[in-house]
Amino acid sequence: MAAELRALGCKNRIGFFLHIPLPPPLILAAVPQHEWLIRSLFAYDLVGFQSEADVEHFSGYVGHEVGAEALDKHQFRAFGRKVQAQCFPIGIDVDEFAALTHAKEGRDMFERMKNEYSRRRLLLGVERLDYSKGLPQRLRSFRELLKNYPENIRSATLIQIASPSREALDTYAGLRQELESLCGAINGDYGELDWMPVRYIHRNVARKRLPGLYRVADVALVTPLRDGMNLVAKEFIAAQDPADPGVLVLSRFAGAAEQLKEAIMVNPYDVHGTAESIQLALQMPLIERQRRHQQLLARVRSQDVHWWRKTFLDTLSACEPD
């Protein structure tokens, strides 16, 4: 779009923000017409990314593939234009989400789930059904947890919400079948008449009810294979009771991992290692959970969606027209 606007004579400052990850240089170079894609980005004055890793991938690509001149850490010149590339991790509206946590729908969900699972430890996963979210790997890790730590049998319950997504495509239909098969196998192998280890929900859950669900969970599993940011991780933190917070288990391949360093980091491809980390989260002492949550919440609050908007627009306004 910026290239078309420039062709029409537009000289305004134009910014672009990429929500998804930028691939490493060699992977990006494998994309057909990759140079045309990057040339198009140079029509902008500012290109924003979710993480420093994405900025490094951009810098590495333009340096090696198109011979861009690095004017400083964030500014590059190529194709007759200058562009500034910088990290602006997107956030959430913390106050709004906290208000939803204490609103009627959030409170009702919290109380209902707390009563229903009063004798269980709740693990929670919330995302759309997508191959990038690492759902089969997560379920295999949970099965490994039950196998290696049998004290969690009849104690730990995983609630996995996977909202429908692109189900007309064969890839997504296959993923749904794989998940349903895994859930059935785990429940069949470990379930009891009065306890099912996995509660799998394949439908949308109203946003106003989610904060109550986050708040009642002992552990949140946010373990995508790759993600630009992942705001579920930040919503979980914002919804917690500071006096008795849950623990965030977070994929190192989510953009949020650069900010949320006090979470328990996992490699979702490592099923055994993820199971070990889930056990660590379930056994974490209260004082340690409080310390981690306090630091995580402070960072989520300081870099919220309003900070993101203001920082990006202020940086764009400061860009010198090329």
318 contacts: CB under 8 Å, gap ≥ 6: none
Cα 31 to its chain centre, rounded Å, is 24
Question: Looking at 45, 54, 218, 227, which residue is catalytic?
Answer: 227
Question: Looking at 19, 64, 102, 306, which residue is catalytic?
Answer: 19
Distance from C-alpha of 108 to C-alpha of 196, rounded to nearest angstrom = 23
Check if 227 is active-site. yes
| DSSP at 16 | E
Q: Report the phi/psi class of residue 120: left, alpha or beta, with left for phi > 0 and alpha for psi in -120 to 50.
A: beta
Q: What are the structure tokens assigned to 257, written together?
A: 């991992």
Distance from C-alpha of 127 to C-alpha of 135, rounded to nearest angstrom = 9
DSSP 43-69: TSSEEEESSHHHHHHHHHHHHHHS--E
Q: What are the structure tokens assigned to 277, written together?
A: 């980390």
Q: What are the structure tokens assigned to 89, written together?
A: 């991790």
What phi and psi, each to the nearest 5 degrees, are found at residue 249?
-105, 115
Distance from C-alpha of 8 to C-alpha of 100, rounded to nearest angstrom = 45
* Residues acting as catalytic residues: 19, 227
